[in-house]
């Protein structure tokens, strides 16, 4: 019996496993290894921040993947041996004929002085309850959302965070005695969306009275103050968006080369090691305009499909499937019942080609459906 081992049961890992299950014969074993018992989407963190549902409501046990004929092993991966497609864990080695690395990227507030101590990190689910309590206790003043370094997962999420906090403050009658500011170290608000997309987001922020500051490189964060290279911002509540890095085990695998992320072939997601692929936030793909391919769940999911098709073709001795074309769409929530969407061809020559759709309630419903459908289909009761 042949076996594919998938390290990480997030968007990329689960999508690869399900597609491979669909394509490969029943005698091909598929094992997902993740240290956490349950799957949850990142979007839940922002909803939980403003008390719009709970994170628990979005959690599903990975053991339910057994319904699809996928084995889930709840274990912490301590080492990766690409040469033997093997994962080292405290309870022994798990190896296979093919290995997919889908270990994501974790927020690293420690990379910016004072960020961990003085800012709330809603990119980390463990920190969401404290951030939510601080927001609940907020009684007017200044809230700063500070994009402190990159790359970070889900490029639109800090803007969604601003829109949701704005909506929350309005619902509490606090908006007219609150300043809401978003700062970013980047030269424009959302480089992945280009000048036009950044201007569109900037317009929506400004309509709601949310001020922005670009090119704001953070020197350090202090109690109630963000110190930039060129000035300070005093704030009563600071939400920090930290730079992200893959888990240490990824760096120690030797697959990352000089950088922290795993460089992969953008068409096949193959790594430098034969029989080893990597998908999602732990990877590095550089676009034709020099920008990194965005790190998002929708992207990791698409990449998982590509890798599954690659492995299935090998198993069936068929010709290779078409390469990944880098097309993806992305929602931008502008409140709990309105959202915008953009569709992008990220691998287009000379840089991404992007189309924007208007802000509508239907798009917001689509975003909610995005979560609901996956939770139901991926983790059946
Ligand atoms: C606030 C917020 C909002 C977001 N909103 C959206 C959105 O609306 N749409 C969207 O597309 N994306 C969104 N994202 C981004 C999305 O969550 C990530 O891009 C996506 O989860 C990446 O998928 P992945 O499979 O690469 O990694 P992950 O989903 O992070 O999965 C990696 C898995 O590896 C496991 N793991 C890591 N190290 C080990 C180890 N040593 N041993 C065992 N297991 C390990 C982890 O437990 C995890 O389950 C959001 C993110 C945040 C933080």
Task: Give pLDDT tens digits for 41-93.
Answer: 999 999 999 999 999 999 999 999 999 999 999 999 999 999 999 999 999 99
Between CA 176 and CA 167 the distance in angstroms is: 12
Site to probe by mutation for ligand 1, drawn from 5, 6, 9, 11 as the one with most ligand atoms within 8 Å of Cβ, is 11
Q: What percent of the chain has pLDDT over 90?
A: 93
Characterize the bridge pairing of strands 244-245 and 106-107: antiparallel
- Would you say the CB of residue 149 lies under 6 angstroms from ligand 1? no
List of domains in the chain: 3-105+246-323 (3.50.50.60), 112-244 (3.50.50.60)
- Quote the ligand 1 centre to 295 CA distance (angstroms): 9
Residue 234 has pLDDT above 90, yes or no: yes
Q: What is the DSSP letter of 247?
A: -
Tokens coding 202: 């900037």
Q: Is the pLDDT of residue 350 over 90?
A: no
Q: Which atom of ligand 1 is nearest to the CA of 280?
A: 26
**Do residues 343 and 355 touch, judged by C-beta distance below 8 A?**
yes
Q: What is the pLDDT of residue 25?
A: 87
Q: Return the residue whose CA atom lies nearest to atom 27 of ligand 1.
A: 104
State the distance from the centre of ligand 1 to the C-alpha of 42, rounded, in angstroms. 7
**Does ligand 1 lie within 6 Å of residue 59's CB atom?**
no
Q: What is the DSSP string of 192-217?
A: GGHHHHHHHHHHHHHHTTEEEESS--
Nearest Cα neighbor of 237 from 141, 128, 115 is 141
pLDDT in tens, 4-36: 999 999 999 999 999 999 999 899 999 999 999
Atom of ligand 1 nearest to the CA of 367: 8
Residue of minimum CA distance from atom 2 in ligand 1 = 42
* Rg of the chain (C-alpha set): 21
Ligand 1 pocket mutation, candidates 241, 281, 306, 366, criterion most atoms within 8 A of CB = 281
CA distance 363 to 356: 12
Say what percent of the chain tops pLDDT 70: 100
Quote the pLDDT of residue 352: 87
């Amino acid at each position: 019996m042949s076996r594919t081992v998938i390290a990480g049961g997030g968007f990329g890992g689960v999508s690869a496993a399900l597609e491979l299950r669909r394509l490969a014969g029943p005698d091909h074993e598929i094992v997902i290894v993740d240290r956490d018992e349950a799957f949850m989407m990142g979007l839940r963190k922002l909803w939980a921040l403003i008390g719009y549902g709970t994170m628990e409501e979005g959690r599903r046990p990975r053991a339910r993947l057994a319904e699809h004929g996928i084995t889930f092993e709840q274990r912490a991966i301590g080492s990766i041996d690409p040469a033997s497609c093997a994962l080292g864990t405290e309870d022994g080695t798990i190896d296979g004929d093919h290995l997919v690395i889908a270990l994501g990227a974790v927020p690293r507030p420690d990379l910016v002085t004072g960020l961990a101590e003085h800012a709330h990190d809603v990119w980390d689910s463990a920190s969401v309850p404290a951030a939510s309590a601080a927001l609940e206790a907020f009684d007017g003043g200044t809230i700063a959302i500070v994009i402190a370094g990159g790359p970070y997962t889900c490029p639109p999420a800090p803007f969604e965070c601003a829109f949701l906090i704005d909506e929350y403050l309005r619902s509490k009658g606090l908006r007219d005695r609150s300043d809401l500011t978003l700062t970013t170290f980047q030269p424009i608000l959302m480089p992945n969306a280009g000048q036009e997309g950044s201007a569109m987001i900037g317009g929506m922020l400004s309509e709601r009275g949310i001020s922005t500051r670009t090119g704001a490189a953070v020197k350090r964060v202090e109690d109630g103050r963000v110190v930039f290279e060129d000035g300070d911002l005093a704030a009563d509540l600071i939400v920090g968006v930290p730079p992200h890095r893959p888990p240490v085990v990824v760096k120690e695998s030797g697959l990352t080369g000089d950088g922290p992320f795993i460089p992969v072939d953008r068409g096949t997601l193959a790594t430098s090691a034969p029989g080893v692929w990597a998908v999602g936030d732990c990877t590095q793909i550089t676009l034709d305009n020099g920008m990194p391919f965005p790190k998002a769940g929708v992207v990791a999911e698409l990449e998982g499909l590509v890798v599954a098709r690659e492995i299935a073709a090998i198993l069936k001795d068929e010709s290779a499937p078409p390469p990944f074309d880098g097309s993806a769409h992305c929602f931008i929530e502008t409140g709990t019942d309105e959202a915008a969407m953009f569709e992008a061809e990220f691998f287009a020559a000379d840089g991404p080609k992007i189309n924007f759709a208007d802000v509508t309630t239907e798009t917001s419903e689509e975003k909610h459906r995005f979560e609901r459908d996956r939770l139901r289909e991926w983790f059946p009761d």
